[in-house]
Amino acid sequence: MISLQVLVILGCLLLGTRYGGMGLGLIGGIGLFILTFVFGVEPGKPPIDVMLTILAVISCASVLQTAGGLNVMMRFAERLLRRHPEHITILAPVTTWALTFLCGTGHVVYTMFPIIYDIAINKNIRPERPMAVASVASQMGIGASPVSVSVVSMVSILAQAHGFGQAIGILQLLSVSIPATLGGVLIAALWSMRRGKDLDKDEEFQAKLKDPEQKAEIYADAESLLGKVFPKEYYWSTWIFFAAIFGVVIFGAFPQLLPAFGEPGKLKPMSMNLVIQLLMLVAGAIILMTCKVNPRDISNGPVFKAGMVAIVSVFGVAWMADSFFHSHFKLLKETLAGVVASKPWLYALVLFLTSKLVNSQGAAIAAIAPMGISLGLDPKMMVAFFPAAYGYFFLPTYPSDLACIGFDRSGTTRIGKFIINHSFFMPGIIGVASGCVIGYLLSKVIL
């Protein structure tokens, strides 16, 4: 019976990936329906805390985008890249990682692709080198952002971990995940500096240049943000958003600043989940009221749409997985607890593979991390292997990777004949593996 239920879950995950994140969440509901009405599995609790935190963060980020704050960040990034074009292979991934770190979503990378390509091609640098690793870096930055879906999900889950000594909060998580993911990005970027043939030695590229039309398209100028003048409200929205992020970090570092509630003598500080939710809502409201934002435009932006897809995906997948796990908790714990505790790298492998199946770091964390807690895995190891939540580069099906291929008009960033030998595979493997190693070492020192 358990094997059949596992097949149902895997079948729903595989089917859901064909329809994207929204379909994944909805088809997760089908899986839970089958588990409940066919196999008699009692439905678990939907991940309400995680979903509400994601909703608050996405609401604020969507208002920021509508207010023009993201354009301010993009122009600063472009200015940095154009000042040092010879170092584009190192600076491009660091820039896309930083943008994701600030905004909480990797979807901000789309505007950067044509800029990175323009700088690389005019500097006679193979565009694949900076572009592929920049796409990977934009997704690795999700694990470092205090306002990303995966981080707020992990904070919510770690708050439920008891009996492992000192609680791990958002500051402890970020103290490991920020250097781990950034270190992985830098190592992948260093490897990328020599990948592929130089353009003057690439026969396929040189053949394209013989066609005047293709040559004109390859070297066409990209649209730049440097010459544009932004109204003051764009800058206000950016600083308001940064202030909210700073507030999250401060309250995470100094919980004594938080209001405490409970019976006398048993007061507990307000949870960081609620703190993140409140600060994001307040920041979004202030931006809305002071930066001339049209409320009707907020829900039409790509950040809002991507966030809503993430919520539905987390809802269906996490609810289905949680119901299955708790229905067989005793058996699974007796069978797997000792193995996971003695070989925590297996948790990282399962998290990596799940991420590929669900195409979402947040959904993978929501589905797998609670199982790790329940099986007795040390939360420190879960933090150490947090970069393993990014596994959807394994096959070139993620939107940012496909967009990266489309923006590279030289054709050097591509999908290979065997599918798996694509431009993002090695930077992704190197980045994630290095990030996990760095995270493991840091967890031993910091946590």
pLDDT in tens, 370-410: 888 888 888 999 999 999 999 989 877 677 887 888 888 89
pLDDT, mean of residues 203-223: 87
Range of the domain at 422: 2-446
Higher pLDDT, 108 or 305: 305
Exposure string over 205-225, b if 16+ CB within 10 A, otherwise e: beebeeeeeeeeebeeebeeb
Q: Three-state SS for 194?
A: coil
Can you name the residues that pair with 269 across neighbouring β-strands? Answer: 260
Q: Could you tell me the pLDDT band of residue 350, with boundaries at 50, 70 and 90?
A: confident
The pLDDT of residue 166:
61
* Nearest-angstrom CA–CA distance, 395 and 155: 28
pLDDT, mean of residues 177-193: 97
The pLDDT of residue 163:
54
Least confident of 224-228, 254-258, 298-302: 224-228
326 CB-side CA count, 13 A = 16
Can you name the residues that pair with 261 across neighbouring β-strands? Answer: 268
Which residues contact residue 254 at a Cβ distance below 8 angstroms, ignoring those fewer than 6 apart? Answer: none
pLDDT, mean of residues 289-294: 93
Structure tokens at 310: 């993430």
Asked whether the predicted pLDDT for residue 283 surpasses 80, the reply is yes
pLDDT, mean of residues 311-340: 76
Whole-model pTM: value is: 0.77
Asked whether the predicted pLDDT for residue 180 surpasses 90, the reply is yes
- Amino acid letter for position 159: A
The pLDDT of residue 178:
96
First to last CA, the chain: 40
Asked whether the predicted pLDDT for residue 63 surpasses 90, the reply is yes
pLDDT, mean of residues 137-165: 82
Q: Which of 85, 144, 151 is nearest to 118 (CA)?
A: 85
Q: Could you tell me the pLDDT band of residue 333, with boundaries at 50, 70 and 90?
A: low
Q: Could you tell me the pLDDT band of residue 95, with boundaries at 50, 70 and 90?
A: very high
Asked whether the predicted pLDDT for residue 417 surpasses 90, the reply is no
* Nearest-angstrom CA–CA distance, 299 and 308: 10
Asked whether the predicted pLDDT for residue 164 surpasses 60, the reply is no
Q: Three-state SS for 214?
A: helix
Higher pLDDT, 374 or 337: 374
Asked whether the predicted pLDDT for residue 416 surpasses 90, the reply is no
E-strand stretches of 249-325: 260-261, 268-269
Which residues contact residue 29 at a Cβ distance below 8 angstroms, ignoring those fewer than 6 apart? Answer: 316, 319, 320
Q: Could you tell me the pLDDT band of residue 192, with boundaries at 50, 70 and 90?
A: very high
Asked whether the predicted pLDDT for residue 110 surpasses 80, the reply is no
Could you give the percent of the chain with pLDDT greater than 90? 39
* Total domains present in the chain: 1
Q: Could you tell me the pLDDT band of residue 18, with boundaries at 50, 70 and 90?
A: confident
Asked whether the predicted pLDDT for residue 340 surpasses 90, the reply is no
Most confident of 187-201, 210-224, 225-239, 408-422: 187-201
Q: Mean pLDDT, the chain, as a whole number? A: 86
Asked whether the predicted pLDDT for residue 325 surpasses 80, the reply is no
Structure tokens at 153: 């999900």
